[in-house]
Structures are given as structure tokens and as C-alpha cells.
Amino acid sequence: MNICILMPTTIEVDDNCSLYKANCLMPNNIRIKQYIDGIQQVRNLNPDIEIYISDNSNYLNKESELLNIINENNIKIIMNAPNNFGHINKGSGLIENWIHNNDIIKKYDYIIHFEPRQLLQSNQFIDNFLKNPRNLFTLGSDKKHFNTGLFCIKSDVLLQFIKLIQPHILIKNNYSIENIIYNYIIGNKISYNLLDKMDLIWYFPNHPPVYH
């Protein structure tokens, strides 16, 4: 069974953008520290799984502590990830990243999607999946969407999803990625399992860290 961890990222945001100036985004120095911690932790907990990082900010084109950590931990860097939609709709940017990595996704039976500006408190979610690979999610607070910070999905399900759900659909209808993945899985009667928690810390600007 071929499995990888795929980490789409926007490590460095444009400090001239309106969201950054309005303090709606984490300052870049804090973001980078969170990425360092999150990436080191997921590698420490999963030493034998192939991990890819697909950054759309060009931060990894220059020397940095983070780049050294990524290389030291044998994490594969996917270059030239596009960034046309993420500043409009986060989910559109995520789909754009998945489309860019279509050929990599095809190589694997399952993808573990992880956003590494989060900090795993344990590996319980991934370990549970590895014991029995399947589509695996946690529910959001309203019980009508999946959390997308960490989930596991069969590659052919993800490939079909990004074939049918293009980035502009989310922008046009103001959809969230959390809701549209949930609706896609439920609407197409795709089998999945739920866990109660991801067991990670999720960071928000101007807000204490949230445990999920």
C-alpha cells in the first residue's frame, strides 16, 4: 500500500496584502516558527512515511532555517505550486495545489493531507489510519463539514473530486472547502470513517490556539 503525507503550504504571505495589513493573518515570523514546529513534529512521529511539501509562496527558493530542516528531514519539495486563487478563497487555493500535484497523487493509494502550521499533539489520527487505511475525517463543530487540517483520503476519490470541483466553483458560490468535501463524500455515498479528534493545535491570528 503506497501512502504519503502531502502538505500544501503558504509559508510566507505578502505583507502588502489587505488581509495582512488588517491583522487577519499571522505575522510571517510567527508563521515560519509554526511551520518549523509543525513540520518537525509530523516527521518525528512518522519517520517512515514519504512526505511532500508543496509551497506556493516561493519561500523555499531561498536559504533559510526552515529549508534546512525540510532537507534534513528528507521531505520532498514540490516546486512552482501556483497561487492564483488562495487569496480569494482558501479552498480554491487548496484545490489549485492538488491539481498541480495530480501526477504525484496518482502514485499513491492514499493521501494523508496535513497542514503543517498546526502542531500534532500525538499521532493517534495517522496511526489509526495506518492500521486500517480508508477515507478518514473528523467533523466540524456544526457536524455538517469535515475538518481539513488533517484527513486521509483514497487517491482516486481525491482525483475525481478535483476533476469535478474546480477552484472557480468555490469562488463563484462562496463555498468553503470543509463543506464542499463533506457534501461531495456524502452526496456520492463514498464510504468513510470518523474519529473524535485530530489531536492537534490549530493557530488563529488574534486568538488563542485551539485544540482539535
**DSSP per-residue string spanning 114-131:** E-TTEEES-SHHHHHHHH
Kindly tell me if the per-residue pLDDT of 123 is higher than 70: yes
Dist. CA 137–CA 145, nearest whole Å: 10
What's the average model confidence in pLDDT over 46-68?
96
Give residue 25's pLDDT: 72
Q: What is the per-residue pLDDT across 147-198, written as a single tens digit (0 to 9) for each?
A: 999 999 999 999 999 999 999 999 999 999 999 999 999 999 999 999 999 9
- Cβ partners under 8 Å of residue 140, min gap 6: 146, 147, 178
Which amino acid does the sequence have at 125?
F
Q: What CATH code is assigned to 3-211?
A: 3.90.550.10
Lowest mean pLDDT among 9-23, 68-82, 103-117, 165-179: 9-23
203 pLDDT above the threshold of 80: yes
Pairing assessment for the beta strands 207-211 and 200-204 based on DSSP bridges? antiparallel
**Cα–Cα distance for residue pair 96/88, rounded to 1 Å:** 12
pLDDT of residue 24: 64
User: Alpha-carbon distance 132 to 140, whole Å?
Assistant: 23
For 68-102, how does the pLDDT look when each residue is reduced to its tens digit (9 = 90+)?
999 999 999 998 899 898 878 889 999 999 999 99
* Average pLDDT rounded to a whole number, residues 47-71: 96
Report how far apart, in Å, the C-alpha atoms of 49 and of each of 63, 78, 92, 117, 130 are: 25, 16, 27, 19, 10
Q: Is it the case that residue 17 has pLDDT exceeding 80?
A: no
Reported confidence tier of residue 206, pLDDT bands at 50, 70, 90: low
Q: What is the mean pLDDT of the chain?
A: 93
H-type helices in the chain, by residue range?
18-21, 28-45, 65-72, 90-100, 102-106, 124-131, 155-164, 167-173, 177-187
d(CA 191, CA 38): 29
End-to-end CA gap in the chain: 28
Number of residues that make up the chain: 212
